[in-house]
Amino acid sequence: SDSEEGRMRIAVLDGDGIGPEVVPAAVSVAERALDKQGIGVQVTRLPFGAAAIDSHGVPIPGSTLDALAEFDLWLVGPHDSAAYPAELRHPAPGAVMRKQFDLFSNLRPARAVSGVPATTPDIDVLIVRENSEGLYADRNMAVGSGEFMPTPDVALSVGLITRTATERIAVEAFEAARRRRGHVTVVHKANVLRMTTGLFRDVCLQVAQRYPDVRVDTEHVDAMAALLVRRPADFDVIVTENLFGDILSDLAAELSGSLGLAASLNSSADRAMAQAVHGAAPDIAGRGLANPVATIASAAMLLRWHGERSADDATLRAADAIDGAVSHVLADGVLTADLGGSASTAEFTRAVIEAL
Ligand code: ATP
Ligand code: MG
């Protein structure tokens, strides 16, 4: 179970690049917020990424996967596969974890916050991205790698959409809409990718019938990109397939301020993994410059996921307190360099802990 003798158990994987800076920052913020609610935390660090190559010869050792199976709650840093020896780059550790633990759902909220200039100050959306199918080759379980080259000059990619996987992500989206503003937009490209994204759209609309209290509409992905810029306030929850969700969530993150703020939660039916949207940022790693907000806010999503499933109000209060403290510190003008400020990772984190 998640908590034994009142202690919450979290598996922590620091990862590469700025991971060892932003992940411990998020752990210390989560510990403080939970402590305020009388909840103790037991953190178990597991080898992952370049550090695991040094100690175990691979970026995601079997021992780490076995240990992860014992935890419901994971907080994970970025991995920088490009920096690994060529023979260890594929499959990427993230893909192995998603596959082995069926982390099919990827929730990516994007909301402008006061204190940080945004291209679209009124954006407040939740992108619900299907995370196990679509065109993403190394995530595609049913058809092997999903990509192949029949000749050196011809490359093919297979896109997979199934009713089962679409139904479960649609349920995530409609449930999330009930907790938000009660509106789901189904994003597809069924005028061209008629069978695959057409099935995605149709199954989502069938699931919508079970949620008469939630307003539903549909958009083509290209129109959605334009509308997110033109009138973001018209959107609440956006549900879409893997590739479209990846692209739209980077767009939404930048519209709301910065990639450094973009949180994300991956989950299966019984586990959740908090991991920022951004990558390892090797260009700024090791210099105390990294913005820890994305990882801290991902940790808050992790606690909210846990609190909702276990109807645990104290954990939900801790999650709200983290979001509140981060907003307060940003509004106060404590900003890291990516947001135009001069606070270090440690200074920003200290300010959040003080605000808590
Ligand atoms: P990946 O392929 O892993 O997604 P990427 O190539 O998209 O990685 P990121 O590592 O996300 O790149 O970084 C993109 C840019 O944003 C870099 O210039 C990086 O320094 C900056 N950046 C990313 N995350 C942060 C952060 N948390 N704080 C400050 N700057 C960041
Ligand atoms: Mg990227």
Instruction: Please give the C-alpha separations between residue 18 and each of 123, 249, 281, 302, in angstroms, as whole numbers.
Output: 27, 21, 6, 20
Is it the case that residue 137 has pLDDT exceeding 80? no
253 lines ligand 1 (CB under 6 A): no
Atom of ligand 1 nearest to the CA of 250: 7
**pLDDT for position 239:** 98
**pLDDT for position 71:** 98
Please state, for a pLDDT cut of 90, what percent of the chain lies above it. 89
**pLDDT for position 138:** 58
**pLDDT for position 94:** 87
**pLDDT for position 139:** 56
Orientation of helix 345-355 relative to helix 313-331, angle to 10°: 120
* DSSP structure class, residue 259: G
Is it the case that residue 135 has pLDDT exceeding 90? no
**pLDDT for position 22:** 98
Separation of alpha carbons 282 and 261, rounded Å: 17
**pLDDT for position 79:** 96
Distance 257 CA to ligand 2 centre (A): 16
**pLDDT for position 228:** 98
Separation of alpha carbons 34 and 307, rounded Å: 11
Counting ligands in written order, the one closest to the CA of 279 is 1
- Calculate the average pLDDT of the chain: 94
**pLDDT for position 301:** 98
Residue type, 164: T
Is it the case that residue 2 has pLDDT exceeding 70? no
Separation of alpha carbons 220 and 104, rounded Å: 22
Average pLDDT over residues 222-250: 97
Structural contact between residues 283 and 290, judged by C-beta atoms closer than 8 angstroms? no
Separation of alpha carbons 88 and 96, rounded Å: 12
**pLDDT for position 1:** 44
**pLDDT for position 136:** 80
**pLDDT for position 306:** 97
Separation of alpha carbons 284 and 17, rounded Å: 8
**What does the pLDDT look like over 269-328, one tens digit per residue?**
999 999 999 999 999 999 999 999 999 999 999 999 999 999 999 999 999 999 999 999
Is it the case that residue 35 has pLDDT exceeding 80? yes
Average pLDDT over residues 29-47: 97
Residue nearest to atom 12 of ligand 1 (CA): 279
Counting ligands in written order, the one closest to the CA of 249 is 2
**What tokens were used for 133?**
């199918």
Q: What is the predicted ipTM?
A: 0.94
Structural contact between residues 48 and 79, judged by C-beta atoms closer than 8 angstroms? yes
Is it the case that residue 146 has pLDDT exceeding 90? no
**pLDDT for position 251:** 95
**Higher confidence at residue 65 or residue 95?**
65
Average pLDDT over residues 98-111: 95
260 lines ligand 1 (CB under 6 A): yes
**pLDDT for position 5:** 57
Is it the case that residue 27 has pLDDT exceeding 90? yes
Residue nearest to atom 19 of ligand 1 (CA): 281
Structural contact between residues 240 and 253, judged by C-beta atoms closer than 8 angstroms? no
Our measurement of the distance from residue 236's CA atom to the centroid of its chain's CA atoms, rounded to an integer in Å, reads: 17
**What does the pLDDT look like over 179-222, one tens digit per residue?**
999 999 999 999 999 999 999 999 999 999 999 999 999 999 99
